């Protein structure tokens, strides 16, 4: 009997040793394989934690440290905590591919209890181009207070700093939707800035001059923004057929004088050879200085480019758009001329565009402010050109044909929805494909005498964007004691609100010139799963019980079953030994 027990124990011991050995071998192999093979799994349906191949390529090519300071830390509301965590998770993913070349830090700009120090920190961040916002934050006692946060970052590389705004704040959307849209754009905003700051090759773009376009100061803010990515030049064509060849894109910003046939030909052939054009055109000329005196006239702006745009596939109509969804105009309501009293009044000629079109240029933008915009129609049936509307008016809009008489007294008239029966009027169009030349069937030597031209009648694949509002790209210029100062593009000094004009222009240029595929990241979408708040209140106790009591019960039941099965197992072993 003793020999049998000894043999039984020896067999169990060998079995346990074999099991332990196999377990150790499996663990060793798993550890060895994991060090040689890199595997990451994203089980979310929208691939929330998966960064794009374009992003991975850029990160792997970094040759020096990119340092990222994110100014979103501290005691934040739940929504902003999720936003902060999303940024941190994205940066952690960046570190996997960028290795030690990606370094980051989260900073609380409100950390100091000294009010003077906080104000100094805020002023320093604002001077770097970071935009603060005020949010309502609950304290530990259950009260609420207003808090200033900077949902932005500063990216540094080899002594160069770039500010990055991470929050998209469309006033037409809820706070949850804005935060969700911002989380969708985190990867794009960060990697775009990293690519721009680390890219050794700087492409050139140009603002066209010579036709009464906006001055350097009037496009100063967007020029400063584009300078983070491109070398931005300005100049006239002057009949030089090759003057635009060096530029990835050309911007025509609110011309007021007619284009000569020579300049039109140079632009046409630039497009035929793959150049990109971005037009901001006022088809109707409005004298706003006269409007301050009570009235003004709107005349058709004869730029002599209608035939050119028509050939490419669009027509800017000779009208002005009116929209019930509009910005305000300050009006003097004071009776004493020495003491003006400025009050806001809706101005139907200032449409506020909600960019709800699902396209990389306009997706998740803040509202865009248009001023005296004209509607755009697509023309022709050229199958080689794809046409996409980027900006359009609201459901309650209409047009007024030029020439027209505009009176400031229109402010006092209450708009009737029934009259605004032309919804979704396009004011910005994207054209992509093979464009026909406007100079087909014409003698080139008569247009460009004495110039040798390698004329093309059809373009290679290229793109252009046409906007029926030249004011959309124009910033205000303030006269100060230190001289003229450039205001932020899209900033309304009366309402103190900044609209999405600058982001729209920047996205348009980036889309036209994008060769990396980064703009496709702007189509990334996270599903917003908002809880049913009324149901939460009604079923609060039920779900608290399910989430707290049931897990504990399951653990207790599992423990009892485990102890019971062990007793049963070893009782049977004892019986066998006897």
Q: Which helix (H) or strand (E) holds 83?
A: helix 78-98
Q: Are residues 183 and 249 in the same domain?
A: no
Q: What is the pLDDT of residues 211-223, one digit of tens each?
A: 999 999 999 999 9
Residue 140 resides in a domain: yes
Average pLDDT of the chain? Answer: 85
Q: What is the pLDDT of residue 12?
A: 57
What are the C-alpha distances in Å from 188 to residues 217, 233, 500? 29, 26, 17
Residue with tokens 């007619």: 258
φ and ψ of 175, to 5 deg: -60, -40
Across the range 197-209, mean pLDDT stands at: 91
Q: Which helix (H) or strand (E) holds 463?
A: strand 462-467
d(CA 342, CA 333): 6
Q: Which of 205-209, 505-509, 540-544 has the lowest mean pLDDT?
A: 540-544
Find out whether 304 and 258 touch, Cβ atoms under 8 Å.
yes
Q: Are residues 263 and 158 in the same domain?
A: no
Q: Which helix (H) or strand (E) holds 81?
A: helix 78-98
Q: What is the pLDDT of residue 223?
A: 95
Q: Which of 35-39, 170-174, 250-254, 326-330 has the lowest mean pLDDT?
A: 35-39
Residue 524 resides in a domain: no
Residue 505 resides in a domain: no
pLDDT at 254 over 80: yes
**522, 494, 498: which is closest to 508 by C-alpha?**
522
d(CA 338, CA 257): 38
Residue 526 resides in a domain: no
CATH of the domain at 137: 3.40.30.10
Across the range 104-110, mean pLDDT stands at: 90
pLDDT at 5 over 60: no
**Which band of pLDDT confidence, cut at 50, 70 and 90, is reported for residue 533?**
low
Find out whether 499 and 490 touch, Cβ atoms under 8 Å.
yes
Q: Which of 224-238, 344-358, 540-554 has the lowest mean pLDDT?
A: 540-554
d(CA 369, CA 46): 32
285 vs 363, which has greater pLDDT? 285
Our measurement of the distance from residue 168's CA atom to the centroid of its chain's CA atoms, rounded to an integer in Å, reads: 7
Residue 510 resides in a domain: no
The phi-psi region of residue 54 (left if phi > 0; otherwise alpha if psi is between -120 and 50; otherwise beta) is: alpha
Q: What is the pLDDT of residue 527?
A: 54
Q: Are residues 111 and 210 in the same domain?
A: no
Q: What is the pLDDT of residue 265?
A: 95
Find out whether 68 and 186 touch, Cβ atoms under 8 Å.
no
358 vs 67, which has greater pLDDT? 67
End-of-domain residue from the set 159, 180, 197? 197
CATH of the domain at 318: 3.40.50
Q: Are residues 97 and 237 in the same domain?
A: no
| Number of domains within the chain | 3
Residue 124 resides in a domain: yes
d(CA 393, CA 325): 8
Q: What is the pLDDT of residue 529?
A: 54
Q: What is the pLDDT of residue 428?
A: 96
d(CA 329, CA 345): 5
Q: Are residues 166 and 211 in the same domain?
A: no
Q: Are residues 219 and 323 in the same domain?
A: yes
Q: What is the 3-state composition of the chain as percent helix, strand, coil, each rounded to the nearest 5?
A: 35, 25, 40
d(CA 4, CA 421): 98
What are the C-alpha distances in Å from 77 to residues 103, 106, 128, 252, 432? 26, 16, 25, 44, 43
Q: What is the pLDDT of residue 233?
A: 96
Find out whether 239 and 262 touch, Cβ atoms under 8 Å.
yes
Q: Are residues 491 and 459 in the same domain?
A: yes
Separation of first and last alpha carbons in the chain? 9
Q: Are residues 177 and 213 in the same domain?
A: no
Q: What is the pLDDT of residues 547-573, one digit of tens each?
A: 888 888 888 888 888 777 777 766 665
Find out whether 463 and 432 touch, Cβ atoms under 8 Å.
yes
296 vs 134, which has greater pLDDT? 296
**Which band of pLDDT confidence, cut at 50, 70 and 90, is reported for residue 526?**
low
d(CA 248, CA 450): 27
Q: Are residues 193 and 236 in the same domain?
A: no
Q: What percent of the chain has pLDDT over 70?
A: 86
Q: Are residues 65 and 144 in the same domain?
A: yes
Q: What is the pLDDT of residue 36?
A: 57
**420-425, long-range: CB within 8 Å, 24+ apart, which pairs?**
420/322, 420/323, 420/324, 420/396, 422/393, 422/397, 422/398, 423/393, 423/394, 423/395, 423/396, 423/397, 424/392, 424/393, 424/394, 424/395, 424/397, 425/321, 425/375, 425/392, 425/393, 425/397, 425/399
Residue 312 resides in a domain: yes
Q: What is the pLDDT of residue 44?
A: 57
End-of-domain residue from the set 450, 481, 499? 499
d(CA 268, CA 271): 5
Q: Which of 46-55, 154-163, 221-230, 363-372 has the lowest mean pLDDT?
A: 46-55
End-of-domain residue from the set 132, 166, 197? 197
Domain residue limits at 400:
201-499
Task: State both tokens at 562.
Answer: 């485990």
Q: Are residues 91 and 167 in the same domain?
A: yes
Residue 266 resides in a domain: yes
Q: What is the pLDDT of residue 370?
A: 96
Q: What is the pLDDT of residues 413-466, one digit of tens each?
A: 888 888 999 999 999 999 999 999 999 988 888 888 888 888 999 999 999 999
Q: What is the pLDDT of residue 335?
A: 59
pLDDT at 577 over 80: no
d(CA 303, CA 318): 12
Q: Are residues 432 and 557 in the same domain?
A: no
Q: What is the pLDDT of residue 34?
A: 61
Q: What is the pLDDT of residue 343?
A: 83
């Amino acid at each position: 009997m003793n020999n049998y027990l000894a043999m039984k124990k020896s067999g169990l011991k060998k079995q346990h040793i074999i099991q332990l050995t196999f377990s150790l071998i499996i663990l060793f192999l798993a550890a060895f394989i994991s060090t040689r093979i890199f595997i990451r799994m994203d089980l979310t349906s929208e691939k929330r934690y998966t960064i794009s191949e374009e992003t991975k390529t850029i990160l792997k090519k970094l040759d020096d440290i990119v340092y990222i300071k994110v100014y979103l830390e501290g005691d934040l509301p739940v929504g902003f905590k999720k936003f902060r965590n999303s940024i941190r998770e994205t940066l952690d993913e960046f570190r996997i591919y960028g290795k030690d070349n990606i370094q980051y830090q989260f900073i609380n700009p409100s950390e100091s209890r000294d009010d003077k120090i906080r104000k100094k920190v805020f002023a320093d961040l604002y001077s770097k181009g970071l935009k603060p916002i005020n949010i309502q934050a609950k304290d530990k006692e259950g009260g609420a207070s207003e808090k200033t946060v900077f949902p932005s970052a500063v990216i540094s590389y080899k002594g160069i700093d770039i500010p990055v705004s991470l929050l998209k704040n469309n006033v037409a959307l809820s706070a949850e939707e804005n935060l969700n849209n911002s989380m969708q754009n985190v990867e794009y905003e960060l990697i775009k800035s990293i690519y721009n700051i680390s890219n050794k090759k700087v492409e050139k773009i140009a603002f066209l001059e010579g036709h009464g376009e906006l001055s350097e100061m009037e496009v100063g803010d967007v020029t400063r923004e584009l300078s983070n990515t491109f070398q931005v030049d300005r100049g006239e064509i002057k009949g030089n057929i090759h003057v635009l060849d060096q530029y990835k894109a050309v911007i025509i910003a609110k011309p007021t004088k007619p284009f000569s046939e020579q300049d039109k030909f140079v632009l046409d052939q630039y497009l035929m050879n793959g150049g990109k054009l971005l037009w901001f055109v006022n088809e109707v000329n409005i004298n706003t200085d006269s409007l301050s005196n009570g009235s003004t006239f709107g005349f058709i702006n004869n730029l002599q480019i209608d035939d050119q745009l028509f050939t490419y596939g669009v027509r800017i109509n000779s009208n002005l758009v009116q929209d019930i969804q509009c910005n305000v105009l300050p009006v003097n309501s004071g009776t004493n001329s020495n003491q003006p009293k400025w009050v806001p009044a809706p101005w139907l000629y200032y449409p506020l565009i909600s960019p709800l079109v699902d396209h990389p240029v306009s997706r998740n933008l803040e509202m865009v402010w248009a001023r005296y915009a004209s509607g755009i129609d697509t023309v022709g049936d050229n199958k080689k050109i794809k046409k996409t509307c980027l900006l359009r008016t609201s459901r309650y809009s209409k047009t007024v044909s030029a020439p027209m008489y505009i009176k400031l007294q229109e402010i006092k008239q209450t708009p009737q929805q029934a009259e605004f029966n032309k919804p979704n009027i396009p004011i910005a169009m994207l054209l992509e494909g093979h464009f026909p030349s406007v100079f087909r069937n014409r003698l080139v030597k008569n247009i460009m005498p004495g110039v040798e031209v390698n004329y093309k009648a059809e373009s290679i694949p290229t793109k252009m964007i046409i906007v029926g509002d030249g004011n959309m790209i124009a910033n205000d210029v303030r006269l100060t004691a230190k001289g003229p100062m450039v205001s932020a593009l899209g900033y309304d000094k009366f309402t103190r609100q900044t609209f999405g004009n600058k982001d729209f222009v920047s996205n348009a240029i980036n889309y036209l010139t994008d060769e990396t595929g980064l703009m496709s990241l702007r189509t990334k979408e996270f599903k917003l799963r908002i809880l049913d708040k009324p149901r939460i209140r009604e079923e609060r106790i039920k779900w608290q019980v399910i989430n707290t009591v049931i897990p504990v019960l399951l653990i207790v039941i599992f423990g009892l079953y485990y102890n019971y099965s062990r007793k049963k197992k070893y009782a049977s072993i004892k019986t066998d030994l006897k």
